[in-house]
Every structure is written in structure tokens, then in C-alpha cells.
Amino acid sequence: MASPTQGSTYESIEIVPNTGGEATQLKVKCQYLQFFENLTSPCFTAIMKVATTGDDVAGQGLYNGIPIKGGERVKIHVTTPIEIHRGNTPGTFEIEMFVNKMTNYMQDKQMETFILHLISKEGMINLNRRVVEKYKATKISDIIKDLLKKINCEEDGIDVIEDTTKSINFIGNMRKPLTIAPMLAKRAVPATSSGDGQGVVSAGFFLWQTTKGMRFRSVESLIKDDKPSETYYYDRSNEALENPEKSFTKILSYTVDNGDVIASQRGGEYSTYRIYFDPNSFKFTKPDNAIFSQEENVQETLGSDNEKCPPPIANKEFSKPEMAHRIVTSVYATGCLEPKSVGIAATTINMDETEDVGQAITRYKSLFTQIVSIQVPVNVSLNAGDTIKCMFPEVAEEDKTDYTQSGLYIIKEISHFFGRNESYTAMKIVRDTSGI
């Protein structure tokens, strides 16, 4: 029987030189490998510590023998403790990455150690691409597909691209694809939900990369995903000794950060005052329509607690516009992309910010109301953006469930640590409200 936190097995770790020569096997030389995914990052990354003797490649160390200059292809295959326990070997964690940089190089007689910083193929290619196109009357989800195509991320590299509503005009302006994509994601509004025919009004998407592929999903769809990929328990019993399988779903440690009210106010989570200037009419938007309040925007939540704004700063206690916690100003994109006719500017507003900016600010900020950092036995089937269920105990002599802290969470950040003597998965999980 494998221990839940024992070391992982390196089936193969190969580094291929840029010159096209033979690959060098690193599985014996790798001290540890740590892999990262982040809901707010369009590329996954990893770090790997390597320790070698001085005659690994043609009588030289790896650094000069390969040589490692950046851009080398690294092929990784790892088997985790839970796969060893279940007899599912070799493991399923197989990935190909590229060397971004090398740090912490140390040499002592016939030994050298260094850390390789790895990045996905798409992250490397992104640096060699610029967006020069003009998109006319195109949905943001279709623009995202085209941006991914520019970095050679085709269908086999895409997990899910959620459809968006409305069509916009947009100019790439020579920026990089993965610079533009997060900018557009903030303005995207999900398409009409299926079944009930009701449109979802809250703007806000994430574009991130997982081992299963690129994902472009709205905050709304992440919240609605109420089927957890895994359920974890924090308990002080030794039940795992009698039921080894349960030991792999045990929370090893956790810390809780229940948000910052002052930061939420400054960020505009509870309310914003929006003022926009129209360069075509030389007028500002009407003050009566400038307020956006969280209390007026009913949203689905992961928890059962509906109280969001603390009573001392509740919007209803203050008059408009003094109650607004954040002021948002901008200039409308009017008449600069599609002329009505030759020499005559159009008056249509492109991407009206009153329809999504306030909603997106509230949605993004509220999602991170509760942040919990947990450590569990390594589980490579989990990805950033997945929903998991965590059951925490009350502070009491007997192990009773804390129904306030327990419930569904979204994985914002996840890190898999594969060491020779220990393995674990660390996650930063978030949600917008308390309760199951």
C-alpha cells in the first residue's frame, strides 16, 4: 500500500537540446518537480531542481554539455502515490514544456545543481506573435478562438471555449495574443443560459491553461458548476488506517483568509459610480444612470449566505452618489472604428462600458471573498477552475462539521509537488459566500 504523501516515481524526464541532438534523461538527476496552474494565468508553468555529476554529457556537466540556453524541450512523465496504490501504473501525468530560464546554478568539484523554469509551448510561441487584424462585428469568444489559433493552440489544445453574447469591433494594435485575451475576457458577457431562456447579465470571464487544454469560461458558469470534482475532509480520526482509500481525500493542513472589507470597498465590489464621455456628442453620461450597486445585481453563489455587504457600509444607508465606493471613468469608443459613410463618423458606441464594467468589477471581487489555502495528497486529476467540496470541523471537542466554512470552492491556484521523498497538491480555493 502506498502512503498518500510518499515520493512520486519519475517514469521519464527528457531534455532535448535546441541543436536537435539526442535527448538526455534526467529522471535520476531530478530532485523535485513542481507544476503550477492559475485561474488568472493563460499559461501553466513548472520548476525543476536538477543535481548532476560533472561528466553527464560528453564528459561535461548538463549546463555546458547540452548546452542549456533556454527554449529546450522537456518531456515529463510521472506516476503519483495514488496511482501506485490503485495499481494504475505508469501514471497519467505526461506533459511537454520548454525551458524559460535557468537559475541558482552552483558548481562544486564534480557536482552541479540548478533550477529550470519551464513554461508551456503556447507561452513560448506567444512572444513571437502580434495581433494586427481588425475584428469587425465579432463575438469575443470568436476573437479568443482566433487568438489561440495564432499561438498554435488548435482543437486538441482547447478544453472549452464558452460562447459570449454581442458582437464588437476591435483592433489588435500590434499587441500579443495572450496580452489581449485577458483584456477582452473582462468585458465578455456569457450567452443566454440554456433551458430557462433567461440571459445572464454579469460580465467577467477567465482564460487559463490546464493540463486538459485552454479554458475560456465565465465566472457565472464556474459558480453554477455544483458537481465537485473531489470531496476532501479535515478530521482528527485515524479512520484512514482502516480505509486506506480515504487517506487520499484527507486535508493535511489549511489556513483561512476571509477577505478584506476595506480592499473590497476600494475595488468597487459593493458599488461603483461610472462616468463616461462621448467624444461624438461632447457629453457625459447621465448621473442618474451612473450608480451600479451589488444589491441591485442578484447573482448565483457557491454558498447559502446571501448577506454580502457588511451593514455599516451597506449602500442603502447612504444617499447617491456618496454611497459609491469606487469611481470609474472612461471615454467611449465612438465613431473611430466604423464610419457611417466616407468622411462621416458613426455615432454608435462600441462596447458600451455601462453594460459590463460595473458588473465585472463586482463579480471578480466577490468571487474572492473567502480564500482558503489547503494541502492534500497529490491529485493530478484536479485543475485550476475545478469545483471541489471541502468539509471542515467546528472548534469543539467532538468532530462536528462546520457548516459555515464547509461547502463548494473553486480552485484558483493549484500546485503539484513531485519529490523523491514526498508528494502533495497545494491549492488556493475561493468562493463568494459562506455556507453549504
Q: Please report, for the chain, the start and end positions of each structural domain, with discontinuous segments joined by +.
A: 9-121, 122-222, 262-360
Query: What phi-psi label fits residue 74: left (phi over 0), alpha (psi between -120 and 50 degrees) or beta?
Result: beta
Cβ distance 411 to 420 under 8 Å? no
Buried b (16+ CB within 10 A) or exposed e, 282-301: eeebeeeebbbbbeeeebeb
Q: Are 434 and 305 in contact (CB under 8 A)?
A: yes
Q: What CA–CA distance (Å, rounded) separates 227 from 244?
A: 24
pTM metric for this prediction:
0.88
Count of CB atoms situated within 10 Å of the CB of 90 = 14
DSSP secondary-structure letter at 83? H
DSSP code, position 175: B
Residue 385 CA to its chain's centroid (Å): 6
Cα 64 from Cα 163, distance rounded (Å): 48
First CA to last CA distance, the chain: 34
The torsion angles phi and psi of 140, rounded to 5 degrees, stand at: -60, -40
Q: What is the pLDDT of residue 197?
A: 38
8 Å CB contact between 207 and 216:
yes
What pLDDT does residue 319 have? 57
| Cell 448565483 found at | 300
List own/partner pairs for 15-22 with CB under 8 A and 24 or more apart: 15/62, 15/66, 15/68, 15/72, 15/73, 15/74, 15/75, 15/99, 16/72, 16/73, 16/74, 16/75, 17/66, 17/67, 17/72, 18/69, 18/71, 18/72
Class of domain 122-222: alpha beta
Q: Which CATH number fits domain 9-121: 2.40.10, 2.40.128, 1.10.287, 1.10.3470?
A: 2.40.10
Residue 16, pLDDT score: 93
Q: Which three cell numbers stand for residue 32?
A: 523535485
391 vs 250: CA distance, rounded Å? 10
Which residues, other chains included, contact 75 with Cβ-Cβ below 8 Å and sequence gap of 6+?
12, 13, 14, 15, 16, 23, 94, 95, 96
* Strand duo 30-38 + 24-25: pairing: unpaired
Can you tell me the distance from the alpha carbon of 373 to that of 253, in angstroms, rounded to the nearest whole number? 8
Per-10-residue mean pLDDT, the chain, length 436:
86 90 90 97 96 74 85 95 88 94 88 94 94 91 96 90 90 94 92 50 89 94 89 75 80 87 77 84 78 63 61 55 76 70 65 78 83 95 96 80 89 96 96 77
Question: What is the CB neighbour count within 10 angstroms for residue 279?
Answer: 13
The strand pairing partners of 411, in sequence order, are 429
Instruction: Say whether 379 sits in a helix, a strand or coil.
Output: coil
In this structure, are residues 191 and 165 in contact, taking their beta carbons and an 8 Å threshold?
Answer: yes
> How many C-alpha atoms does 152 have within 13 Å on its Cβ side?
10
The pairing of beta strand 387-391 with beta strand 230-233: parallel
pLDDT at 164: 93
Helices 177-187 and 140-150, axial angle in degrees (round to 10) = 170
